[in-house]
Amino acid sequence: MTILCRRAVLAAALWCVPVAAQAAETRAKADVNCQALPTRLQYDCTLRLANARTDEPLSGATVRVGADMPSMPMAHNVRPVQATAEPEAGTYRARLTLEMHGDWALRIDVTGPVRDRIVKLMRFEPGRAEPSPRSR
Amino acid sequence: MDDYVVGVLSNIGVLAFLGLSAYLLLLTGEISFGQQAFFAIGAYAAGIATAIWGWPLAAGLLFGAAAGAAAALVVGVPTLRLHGLYFAIATLAFAEMVRLLFELLRYQVMIDGELVGPNGADGFRDIRYVFQNNIEPQQFLLVIYALLVAVLLGFALLERTRLGVSFRMIGVDYVLAQMHGVAVARHKLIAAGLAGALAGLGGGLYAHLTTYVEPRLFDVMLGVHSLAYGLIGGLGTALGPLLGVLIDIGLLESIRAFAGYRMIIFGGLVALLLIVRPRGLLDEILVHRIGGAWRRWWRRRAAKEAA
Amino acid sequence: MIDFVQNTIDGVMIGSSYALLALGFTVIFGVMRRLNLSYGPSIMLGAYFGTLLHIQFGAGPLAVAAATVLGAAIVGIYVERLCFAPMAAGAGIASMVSSFAIWMQLEQAAVLLLPRHTYAFPPLTDGAALTVGPFLLRADQLVVLSCVLVLTAAVHVGLYRSRFGLALRAIIDQPMAAHLVGVNVNRATLCAFAGASALGGIAGYLVLAVDQQVTPMFGMWATLKGLVAMMIGGLGSIPGAVIGGLLLGLIEAHSQWYLGPQARDLVVYAVLFGFLVLRPGGLLGAAPAGAMPVAQPRP
């Protein structure tokens, strides 16, 4: 095999091997509470993020919230909005404008001290929002 | 690159696989409403491989593609004798069966103190390979498009080989193709397997992109969408489905200003487009003309240089 | 034993609604030889009109029914003009995908009309139940069954005893020949479409009145049920559509009882798949002669 070929094979093999486990992988967990706003299809969501293992609130993270309808992926999705940090540690707020009432999967992307994505299923109706009856 | 743009481009890339899968079957003249089933199978298979069995991404994606191909052959064999609408509805029935089976599938393993795995109708969450291995969204985008480019090159090659020509012959008139000595049944199975593998690969990428899949995602809507991509973009070339996905998602994103009316505008535009171009934008006639013009230009240039 | 008979009765009751859905679907398919994926959604939009009337003006069941049927017919005409009329004979797939695009359009229109996820639909009767021996029969389901019988007879009479029906049957057979003998194919097709959508509107109204609620998912549900019933009974066959619908109802009722609601849909699709693989013509249709039921050249 030529040198180039050997290098290519080595690179491919390295890519295939899972990266050695780094320090204990931190996961985030989120508590989502959404209130309906007077304007139609707008909701104000408060997220409480914490370290999944230690329960310590996650502050200083960049949080983006997006939403997608499980029954029609990518057809009705919502452009991700940046969540603003609240004075209380680990609490963030985001305003969501949805296209339709019904079941939505909220996608919370966290970057910063912890990098993670949390998916929360919620049901949005006029005037109220609650965790989807089917979600954990 | 803005995270949002990366997200949209990733979606386009992943859905292009689904569109190409339906397109391959359309080449052989068969309408399939069921490619979303192989998409689902690929998603779950790749997700299980990386999240539960701890396989690397490449192996997981390969497993997803293989699972998709295998399932496609399982449904391809009994439906060999079916054509047209009967075949289409059979694939729809199969896809719905797959979706319902996923609603019943429960395979959860305790990993690191948490239950990981498909949980019936609640879906399969925490397919976190991308996060566990610190792959940036831009890097994953590169992976998606590298694979997509490879597939498109494969299609370009296919159009030049005997296999590709046989596919198109079967698509135009399978009886005539059979009389010309083309083994129709075998070719249809090959096409079905390849299409299943494509959809499976796309599904695996999708699962890792969104980290959460549930059976509801893979319903009839997605299946008809996969067909629509090819029809909108054009059936003359493999770039057609990609164009279709681009138009679909691109249009949807750009008319966000019309928040509540997006679908109405989009649906109307697609219907009008299909009236004017029933075989899509890049249909066979247009591709043929472009190819001809290109060849003439090339020949003229070569003649000029020779002179 | 009692369970079996009760399930059979329930199956026939719901199956009659499916039969009606399949009937409308078959008329459209028979005439156009193309699949109309907007069939269910046009019924749903009609139902939403009816619901709107009920909510805003407190309209009674008859007004709601009329609104549903009229709404479905009007939307059906819209779909025909946009997705099917302008397409050339060979563009079957294009029509189907076009009707799918309009499906999404109609669903959004419905949601714009009435944004909530579920709405109460006015019931037919007060929900009184009759008991015949050990079996339970609901009054509104009986109304549905009788409506279905009447409508099936009406469709049969319309197709086989009227000039319009004769024209339709000619078009179903050979559109070009029908044109040559003086049938206005486009107009007859439009009327058939409107009629089939109206039929679907009645079916939709009956189903929703028994169910007493309507959601945006009703469109896809109705299309799928009509499609499955039509394929089981035999593509393009009117009696087949009715029998297919009844059979579908029976299969659903029994599998739900013995296997639970999740397995019910699984069984239905497995049966459909089995039919298509083993007997594509369905129960009463002719076995397909190899080629796709293509749209014949139209004038």
Q: Is the model more confident about B152 or about A76?
A: B152
For A62, residues 6+ apart whose C-beta sits below 8 A from its C-beta are A82, A110, A111, A112
Task: Identify whether the C-beta of residue C99 lies closer than 8 Å to the C-beta of residue C79.
Answer: yes
Encoded tokens for C239: 């009696």
Task: Establish if C289 touches chain B: CB-CB under 8 angstroms.
Answer: no
Q: What is the pLDDT at residue A66?
A: 85
Most confident of B74-78, B244-248, C110-114, C144-148: B74-78
The domain segmentation of chain A, as residue ranges, is 25-131
The domain segmentation of chain C, as residue ranges, is 19-218
Instruction: List the 251-270 stretch of B: residues with Cβ below 8 A of C.
Output: 260-264, 266-268, 270
| Interchain CB distance below 8 Å, C111 and A100 | yes
- Identify the H or E element spanning C238: helix C238-259
Does pLDDT of C128 surpass 70?
A: no
Q: Of A51-65, B220-234, C99-113, where does mean pLDDT reach its minimum?
A: A51-65
Which residues of chain C neighbour A69 with C-beta distances below 8 Å? none
Q: Is the dihedral of CA B220, B221, B226, B230 positive or negative?
A: positive
Which residues of chain C neighbour A101 with C-beta distances below 8 Å? 111, 115-117
Q: DSSP character for C213?
A: E
Question: How does pLDDT run across C178-212, given as a tens digit for each residue?
Answer: 889 888 888 888 998 899 999 899 988 888 888 88
Does pLDDT of A21 surpass 70?
A: no
Q: What is the pLDDT at residue C77?
A: 93
Encoded tokens for C61: 């069941």
Task: Identify whether the C-beta of residue B239 lies closer than 8 Å to the C-beta of residue B153.
Answer: no
Which residues of chain A neighbour B263 with C-beta distances below 8 Å? 75-76
Question: How does pLDDT run across C21-37, given as a tens digit for each residue?
Answer: 898 888 888 777 788 88
B7 vs B15: CA distance, rounded Å: 12
Chain B residue closest in CA terms to C101 = B267
Task: Identify whether the C-beta of residue B169 lies closer than 8 Å to the C-beta of residue B38.
Answer: no
Encoded tokens for C211: 């169910």
Which residues of chain C neighbour B86 with C-beta distances below 8 Å? 231, 235, 276, 280, 288
pLDDT grade for A18, boundaries at 50, 70 and 90: very low
Task: Establish if A76 touches chain C: CB-CB under 8 angstroms.
Answer: no
Q: What is the pLDDT at residue C172?
A: 78
Q: How far is CA A96 from CA A28, A45, B211, C47, C218, in A?
A: 21, 7, 21, 30, 27
Task: Identify whether the C-beta of residue B109 lies closer than 8 Å to the C-beta of residue B52.
Answer: yes
Domains: count for chain B: 1
Residue-level pLDDT, tens digit, chain B, 307 residues: 677 888 889 999 999 999 999 999 999 988 899 999 999 999 999 999 998 888 899 999 999 999 999 999 999 999 988 888 889 899 999 999 999 999 888 888 887 777 888 888 888 888 888 878 888 888 999 999 999 999 999 999 998 899 999 999 998 888 898 898 888 999 999 999 999 999 999 999 999 998 889 898 898 888 888 888 888 888 888 899 999 999 888 877 777 766 667 778 888 888 888 888 888 888 888 888 888 898 898 899 988 888 7
Chain B contact partners (≥3 CB pairs within 8 A): A, C
Which residues of chain C neighbour A102 with C-beta distances below 8 Å? 117, 216
Yes or no: domain A25-131 corresponds to CATH 3.40.50.180: no
Chain A residue closest in CA terms to C108 = A100
Chain B nearest-CA distance from C134, in A, is 34
Nearest Cα to C268, choosing from A98, B92, B58, A34?
B92
pLDDT grade for C126, boundaries at 50, 70 and 90: low
Q: What is the pLDDT at residue A20?
A: 35
Chain A contact partners (≥3 CB pairs within 8 A): B, C
Which residue in A117, A132, A135, A136 has the most chain B C-beta atoms within 10 A of its own C-beta, making it the best mutation to test that interface?
Answer: A117
Q: What is the pLDDT at residue C91?
A: 73
Q: What is the mean pLDDT of residues A41-47?
A: 85
Chain B nearest-CA distance from C172, in A, is 17
Question: CA angle at residue C140 from C137 to C144, to 5 degrees?
Answer: 100
Question: How does pLDDT run across C225-256, given as a tens digit for each residue?
Answer: 998 998 898 877 788 888 999 999 999 999 98
Q: What is the pLDDT at residue A30?
A: 83
Does pLDDT of A12 surpass 70?
A: no
Q: How far is CA B72 from CA A60, B21, B100, B192, B213, in A?
A: 48, 11, 17, 6, 21
Which residues of chain C neighbour B22 with C-beta distances below 8 Å? none
B156 vs B167: CA distance, rounded Å: 13
Coil/strand/helix, residue A27: coil
Neighbours of B307 (CB within 10 A): 5
Residue range(s) defining the domain that contains residue B231: 3-306
Please report, rounded to a whole number, the percentage of residues in chain C having pLDDT higher than 70: 93
CATH classification of the domain holding B250: 1.10.3470
Per-residue H/E/C for C88-112: CCCCHHHHHHHHHHHHHHHHHHHHH
Does pLDDT of C269 surpass 60?
A: yes
Side-chain-side CA neighbours of residue C40 (13 Å)? 25
B91 vs C276: CA distance, rounded Å: 10
